[in-house]
Structure 1
Amino acid sequence: MPFQLFRGQGPIEQTVDLDERLARVDRSALQAPDRYMADEALRHAVDVAIYLRMPLLLTGEPGTGKTQLAYRVAAEFGLGDPLIFETKSSSVAQDLLYTFDALRRFSLAQVATQTMEAGQREAALDPRRFVRYQALGLAILRANDPAIAARWLPADSPRDALAPRRSVVLIDEIDKAPRDFPNDLLNEIDRRRFRVAELGDDYLAAPEDKAPIVLITSNSERQLPDAFLRRCVFHHIEPPDTERLKQIVAARLPEFIDAPLLMRDAIAFFQSIRSEALGLDKKPSTAELLNWLDAMTGAQADSDKPLGAQQAIAQAYLGVLCKTDNDQVAVRERLAQWHGA
């Protein structure tokens, strides 16, 4: 039967530490880069984007692994964690490169004028102190020789972190940004260079041999400009078929490797409700299937029994799989009639 943490009614009993009641579950495999499984077409797309030094634009349903690919690429090439820019509806192109804290500099200038000598004032108000490099800007900065990068950093910045290195940059959900955002990035994407207006007119560019690997995700909520698309390698991640789903689930939820009956039946059910015939408002994604199986495991579902034999547990956690009221009703009815693959 489903596990119970929250009672939601009756008298409030003596507080019990929630951490003591939660099962100790190792979910590292769900996010581990070494468990990521790219198909052949996606591998080719990554290869050609790196070879041509062009951004890789990824589309596909939410939950198909677009964002996680950046972690896999970074881990496989030993490049540390990816530098991530999470696009917002208010984002402008400069935000991907750097931000400048003009307000803090102005406030400090009022104090410096009254309390500091000329030399101290100049050092304290050095505009380089108020620049914060963001994902793509930081990747371009990191790619440069220390002597070049130092010109763009405060004089007292640590120099031990300036060795030239390649980075992976993830521009996540670019279709959330205003319409002008992609067009305003054409030069930076094409030439991998930018300038900080507050520091002058010189450009900082990434050397060819340390060009950042740029991945861009889109949920296809709107069409991106043609000029931007021309500068990208494009790949659409298709939802995995049944066999690949089995491989993905086994990799991400290792407890199903030796006892896969529930996994096979849950995948068959998952594929059946994604069919056009059921007409769901939002088809569940691979990530939601993994979470559903994870929740059922936490509720002590028997991985050696099919889904139909564990209706109570499967029904209890449909909110993980289906995200609208109409979808939950339709899937609940399908589950009640489910007799296995």
Structure 2
Amino acid sequence: MSEWRIYQGVGKPHDGIDRLPAPPPWRDFGNGEGEMTPFDRDMPAQGRHRLPHAAAYQADESTVEAVNTALYLRRPLLVTGDPGVGKSTLADAVASELKLGAVLRWPVNSKTTLRDGLYRYDSLGRLEEAGVAQRGARQDEQPTPASLGRYISLGPLGTSLAPFALPRVLLIDEIDKSDIDLPNDLLDVFEEGGFEIPELARAADVSEPVMIRPADGGEEVTVRRGMVRCHAFPFVVLTSNGEREFPPAFLRRCVRLQLPAVSEDEMRLRAIVRAHLPGADEQAEEIIELFMQRAATGELATDQLLNAVYLMSRTVKEGAPGLDGVARLVLQHLNVTAPAE
């Protein structure tokens, strides 16, 4: 196994992240100020996001190389491919193998803004507290960062930029569905490795640090002078179904990976079925053949193949659907332009 590879794509947890060298000078965000925020590196084995497919993920050579390039350069990884090829699962696989804790997930849609990912401020709760204070004749009490901190929580992006000693894994899912401005809005955050919380910065004359809740429910993050800044740049996976183009300034700051359609690789399909459903090889062969035939005329995803193999291998009772019935039930084309069934 190459020593250069931090992520090896083997599916078994190891401490390879400890061999990651110092970042390039232009991507070094560790300024030595303040304390590190701890996180549970084994959380994927315990948390609700731990899924069996993380360990069973089949990473090909180009995927392993792209992941390691992003790790070394401290750059986001933009993963493009059809639905169901394993774009989102890649984040789970890297977090699981390198023992980097629970994946921080940020699903994106057309209404998502940068602030949604950075932090949330409960302004209504703060106003209600101010009203109670006024009715209690404490009108001279001014908000301090410490009191404001009770109404602020970090989002998934903001949590990933907290000062952890090791990189967190952040999944920004379906970035191509975002508002046109979001990719450009992310540039400053990715380049600076941090961001400001204005509500805290305006009250920065009080020197005591503020403790803020992270998105994953872990240890509170210490924030000073309203600034959140990473020590280790997170491993960021941005997924795209290829439904739009991104600006050159955004693309040049990402490592790009194009995942091929899994339906074109029969050996890989067998490996995926074997990893997820050991012992189902006999039923899988004819279903894989049928899957590839149908994938040639319309869009299918690998989880549909797994569902079909499961039905054929587990539901053998009288009256259970046969091969044609399974195809009709779970191997339906995903794209509306596919030929009529």
TM score, norm. by length of structure 1: 0.71
- Residue 101 of structure 1 pairs with residue 122 of structure 2: yes
Match of 1:233 in 2: 255
CA distance in 2, matches of 1:212, 1:119: 42
Match of 2:322 in 1: 312
Shift in CA distance, 317/95, structure 1 to aligned 2, threshold 3 Å: same
- The 8 Å contact of residues 296 and 317 in structure 1, kept in 2 or not, is answered as no
1:110 CA drift (Å): 1.0
1:8-23 maps to which residues of 2 (within 5 A)?
Answer: none
- The 8 Å contact of residues 29 and 253 in structure 1, kept in 2 or not, is answered as no
- Residue 82 of structure 1 pairs with residue 103 of structure 2: yes
1:172-183 maps to which residues of 2 (within 5 A)?
Answer: 172-183=173-184
Q: Name which of 75, 78, 81 aligns with 1:60.
A: 81
1:126 CA drift (Å): 2.3
Which range is displaced more, 103-112 or 227-236?
103-112
Match of 1:23 in 2: none
Match of 1:337 in 2: none
- The 8 Å contact of residues 318 and 328 in structure 1, kept in 2 or not, is answered as no
Secondary structure, counterpart of 1:169 in structure 2: strand
Unmatched 5+ residue regions in structure 2?
1-48, 203-225
Higher Rg: 1
1:1-341 maps to which residues of 2 (within 5 A)?
Answer: 31-115=52-136, 117=138, 122=143, 126-143=147-164, 164-200=165-201, 203-207=227-231, 210-240=232-262, 241-256=265-280, 260-275=281-296, 278=297, 280=298, 283-300=299-316, 312-316=322-326, 318-323=328-333, 329-330=340-341
CA distance in 2, matches of 1:116, 1:172: 48
Shift in CA distance, 233/116, structure 1 to aligned 2, threshold 3 Å: farther
- The 8 Å contact of residues 192 and 211 in structure 1, kept in 2 or not, is answered as yes
Shift in CA distance, 292/316, structure 1 to aligned 2, threshold 3 Å: closer
- The 8 Å contact of residues 70 and 215 in structure 1, kept in 2 or not, is answered as yes
Please identify runs of 4+ aligned residues in structure 1 that moved more than 6 A: 118-121
CA distance in 2, matches of 1:115, 1:196: 29
What's the CA shift string for 1:108-166, capped at 9, x where partnerless? 211121126468764698222221101121121242xxxxxxxxxxxxxxxxxxxx443
Q: Which has the higher helix share?
A: 1
CA distance in 2, matches of 1:77, 1:274: 34
1:263 CA drift (Å): 0.9
Q: What value does the CA root-mean-square deviation take over the aligned residues?
A: 2.7
Shift in CA distance, 274/127, structure 1 to aligned 2, threshold 3 Å: same
- The 8 Å contact of residues 287 and 308 in structure 2, kept in 1 or not, is answered as no
1:191 CA drift (Å): 2.4
1:79 CA drift (Å): 1.1
Q: Which amino acid aligns with 2:228?
A: L
Aligned residues: 266
What's the CA shift string for 1:56-75, capped at 9, x where partnerless? 00010111111111111111
Q: Which amino acid aligns with 1:138?
A: T
Unmatched 5+ residue regions in structure 1?
1-27, 144-163, 303-309, 331-341
Shift in CA distance, 185/315, structure 1 to aligned 2, threshold 3 Å: same
- The 8 Å contact of residues 107 and 172 in structure 2, kept in 1 or not, is answered as yes
Secondary structure, counterpart of 1:38 in structure 2: coil
- The 8 Å contact of residues 301 and 313 in structure 1, kept in 2 or not, is answered as no
Shift in CA distance, 292/329, structure 1 to aligned 2, threshold 3 Å: farther
CA distance in 2, matches of 1:118, 1:126: 15
TM score, norm. by length of structure 2: 0.71
Q: Which amino acid aligns with 1:34?
A: A
